[in-house]
Amino acid sequence: MKIEAKVYKRDYKSIKGTANITIEDCFVVKGILIMESKNGLFIAMPSKKTTNGEYKDICFPITKEARQQIIDEIMKKYNAEETTQNNDFDENFGNDLPF
């Protein structure tokens, strides 16, 4: 599966960046978060807040292999020296997140 990632480094609380991926040149997922926890960096797929206050992913890989391929591509771009910078980043992004 061909996956291309664009990563935008940020430092907003526990959010260290955002990513958009293109799968097989025909499907795009925007708003993937690169988060930092006490165990290190992890990827959070786009989610929405439910009526009971929980967050549920709205799109996600089904297989372990697909998830790992997405993580690998995003982290490869995140760790690269020349990371794309997004000048249109909304400074209010994340204000409604629970962390």
pLDDT, one tens digit per residue, over 7-24 is 999 999 999 999 999 999
CATH 2.60.40.60 fits 3-79, yes or no: no
In the prediction, which pLDDT does 85 show?
55
In the prediction, which pLDDT does 97 show?
54
pLDDT digits (tens, 9 = 90+) for 62-92: 999 999 999 999 999 999 955 455 544 555 5
Between the alpha carbon of residue 60 and those of residues 32, 63, 82, the distances in Å are: 10, 9, 27
Spell out the domain ranges in the chain: 3-79
Residue 43 pLDDT level (bands cut at 50, 70, 90):
very high
Can you tell me the distance from the alpha carbon of 57 to that of 8, in angstroms, rounded to the nearest whole number?
Answer: 21
- Tell me which H or E stretch contains 48: strand 47-49
Checking if the pLDDT of 95 tops 90, the result is no
Q: How far is CA 56 from the centre of its chain?
A: 14
Residue 53 pLDDT level (bands cut at 50, 70, 90):
very high
pTM attached to this predicted model: 0.78
Q: Please give the structure tokens belonging to residue 98.
A: 């629970």
How many H helices and E strands in the chain? 1, 6
